Structure 1
Amino acid sequence: MSGLATSEGLCATGGGERTPLRVGIIGMGKVGRRRAAIVEAHPHLHLEAVCDTNPSCRKLFPDRRFHDHFPDLIADDLDIVFVCAYNKIAPQAVTMALDAGKHVFCEKPPGCCVEDVEAMIAAERRNPGLKLKFGFNHRYHYSVMEAKSLIDGGRFGKILWMRGIYGKCGGIQFENEWRNSAELSGGGILLDQGIHMLDLLRYFGGEFTEVQSVVTTSFWNIPVEDNAFAILRGGDVVAMLHSSATQWKHRFSLEICLQAGYIDLRGILSSTRSYGEETLTFARRQFEDETFAFGKPREETIFFDTDDSWSLEIEEFVSAIQNDTPIVSGNSQDALNVMMLIEEIYRQGGGRG
């Protein structure tokens, strides 16, 4: 089958080197261009073709095959398709690419609703030899990976509760962005940015089965939400979430309280650098000795000045293809579970705006 990433496409050459996997990217906006830069720098990938409805994007990639419509790119001779398009388009592009024999990397969110994810999972099951990964890059930030290591190591015991805040201020053109179009995006700030925090709450605390929420459009003149508040419970773990487009000073904050201490993630390195320094602070509880540190334990803070998250998640994707191993983070089950949470937050909170 044309474009199928079989062993022929992955075999070693006479010199022992792998033949680069042929990549096409659908959607050449900010995220698509960032993915393209990583693909072009990867020794086992080669960018063959790009697709965008904006013809000016052709000038950005003059040496690559250019397509105006995503079905044409999917029909191209490729091993991998990156889907970096509107949320509305993602399910159709992903299912079509999988059924055409391509591995697929799809940006978050995984479509607009649970039904979208279920359609993609059905295509994945029809093509068991192919890999499907979703872009939850926050899991690959060094502060997050360090926190995960501390938690899994058992140093501070089990998680009691978590409190996550992720917000931005919107901006002058915020009301006109496609992300705030109910038709193209399917939701507002929760689906666009809050999904990252929800994914991290699941990543650290496991699955949640109870949801209470309030969803509002409190400031911006948009048809979708600009704030979402949720309390989640799964087993003995309780988590609080605030996803906001009225956070006038950008903020990323995730507090994790455990039996014997706490972990505090503050700031996240981003392209805008507007969320402050990326830090991880942790400490053991010390209230047993009230004369020493009652309510003010000795803390240790680690600063992180490099964001390799985008490259690391692509590296895991490529490794899974080359070695035929399962997708560990950002797999279809992760996508389904986080979208089920989002839909329940919308349902309990009064809708998507």
Structure 2
Amino acid sequence: MINVGVIGTGMIGQDHIRRMTSVLSGVRVCAVSDVDAATAASVGERVGAAVHTTGQELIADPSVDATLVCSWGPTHEQYVLAAIAAGKPVFCEKPLATTTEACQRIIEAETAYGGRLVQVGYMRRYDSAYRALKAVLDSGQIGNPLLMHCAHRNPSVPGVYEKDMAITDTAVHEIDMVRWMLGEEIRAVRVLVPRRSRNGGILQDPLFLLMETAGGAIVDVEISVNIRYGYDIRGEIVGEDGTAALGELSPLVVRHAGQVATPVPADWRERFIRAYDIELQEWIDGIAGGVPATGPSSWDGYAAAVVSDAGVSALHSGERVPIALMDKPKLYAAEAAA
């Protein structure tokens, strides 16, 4: 049984706690911590977990085997570094850190430790549809990938959502997915600004992201975050010998009153609920088997941060922005995107 401590008991933290206490196997939530002490106390009482005042205190708790970081993004670096210093596996929800420099410090610490301890929460790699799409691509059935078309559509976003978040909070999932799917780093990015939707208020919505990979593939991402009708994630790869795309939004088709309808997911939790389950179960199983991190790594978190920063720069400048990554440490050399 792996004893996991959860730092951050907000929406995603509580969802993961629910998952670990009622869906997954081989895991127990033994400790929690949050800046909102009342929420942490309430959650801790509900699941029978110890409540710690700080994340660092939770990580130092000898009963905690591994840590799940679900707190506010700017706090991620300190908790991930503390977990590495303690030699404990840590699963960090995206972003790994909020600056490129912070991601580099994490890479340096993990490299100095001499082994992987960090996994970043890019759950699309665990979605059955994306995995099936990658299997087709990797089989060579459609030949080399030339283009990939993506769409990331939200019904709405909260009032705190800002212009840059279309890249750093929304399209970052496509950024990581594309690197994993195609097995190549992203070398340049542009952002095109179409006519503004009346649903977006003062927000520039939608946006159109164009990425160039190291191997010469072109990837476009439509980012629409106030499209109203539902949460709609799309992806199609155009290869030399054919195409492959994600399937329908829902396995359910309703025929009623002279109409045929396919329900659209309401939000990301509905669309990717099984991906989250698989992601954490594989992480837990890895720890139990002595392999603490096999999913998205500190390098993946760093690369996503660099591309996101370039995307924000392209959004504001209107220019094509080249991307240069630091030399990849040997610790991450076996990863697909190189």
Normalising by structure 1, report the TM-score.
0.74
Which residue is equivalent to 1:73? Answer: 58
Which residue is equivalent to 1:50? Answer: 32
Say if 1:257 and 1:226 are closer, same or farther in 2 by CA, change over 3 A.
same
User: Match of 1:188, as an amino acid?
Assistant: M
> Which of residues 212, 219, 224 is equivalent to 1:239?
219
- Alignment of 1:34 with 2:15, yes or no, is yes
User: Match of 1:246, as an amino acid?
Assistant: N
Say if 1:217 and 1:70 are closer, same or farther in 2 by CA, change over 3 A.
farther
For 1:91-240, list aligned pairs within 5 A. Answer: 91-129=77-115, 131-171=117-157, 174-176=158-160, 180=161, 187-205=164-182, 206-214=184-192, 219-221=200-202, 227-234=206-213, 235-240=215-220
State the superposition RMSD in angstroms. Answer: 2.8
Greater C-alpha radius of gyration: 1
- Rounded to whole Å, the distance in 1 between the matches of 2:249 and 2:87 is 36
Question: Which stretch of the first structure deviates more once superposed, 195-204 or 131-140?
Answer: 195-204
3-state SS in 2 of match to 1:133: strand
3-state SS in 2 of match to 1:102: coil
1:275 deviates by: 6.1
Question: Which stretch of the first structure deviates more once superposed, 40-49 or 149-158?
Answer: 40-49
Which residue is equivalent to 2:287? Answer: 321
- Rounded to whole Å, the distance in 2 between the matches of 1:221 and 1:88 is 25
Which residue is equivalent to 1:298? Answer: none
Task: Report how many aligned residue pairs link the two structures.
Answer: 292
Greater helix share, structure number:
2
User: Match of 1:126, as an amino acid?
Assistant: A
Which residue is equivalent to 1:273? Answer: 265
- Rounded to whole Å, the distance in 2 between the matches of 1:59 and 1:244 is 36
Q: Percent identity?
A: 22
Which residue is equivalent to 1:335? Answer: 301
- Rounded to whole Å, the distance in 2 between the matches of 1:79 and 1:114 is 28
Question: Which stretch of the first structure deviates more once superposed, 317-326 or 51-60?
Answer: 317-326
Which residue is equivalent to 1:285? Answer: none
Say if 1:215 and 1:131 are closer, same or farther in 2 by CA, change over 3 A.
farther
- Rounded to whole Å, the distance in 2 between the matches of 1:98 and 1:51 is 18
1:36 deviates by: 1.2
User: Match of 2:296, as an amino acid?
Assistant: G
Structure 2 residue runs of 5 or longer lacking an equivalent are 251-263, 318-338
Question: Which stretch of the first structure deviates more once superposed, 318-327 or 48-57?
Answer: 318-327
- Rounded to whole Å, the distance in 2 between the matches of 1:181 and 1:81 is 30
Structure 1 residue runs of 5 or longer lacking an equivalent are 1-19, 279-304
3-state SS in 2 of match to 1:144: helix
Normalising by structure 2, report the TM-score.
0.77
1:61 deviates by: 2.6
- CA displacement, residues 1-47 of structure 1 (integer Å, 9 cap, x when unaligned): xxxxxxxxxxxxxxxxxxx2221000111211121123224432221
Say if 1:49 and 1:213 are closer, same or farther in 2 by CA, change over 3 A.
same
- Rounded to whole Å, the distance in 2 between the matches of 1:133 and 1:145 is 18
1:90 deviates by: 0.7
1:321 deviates by: 2.5
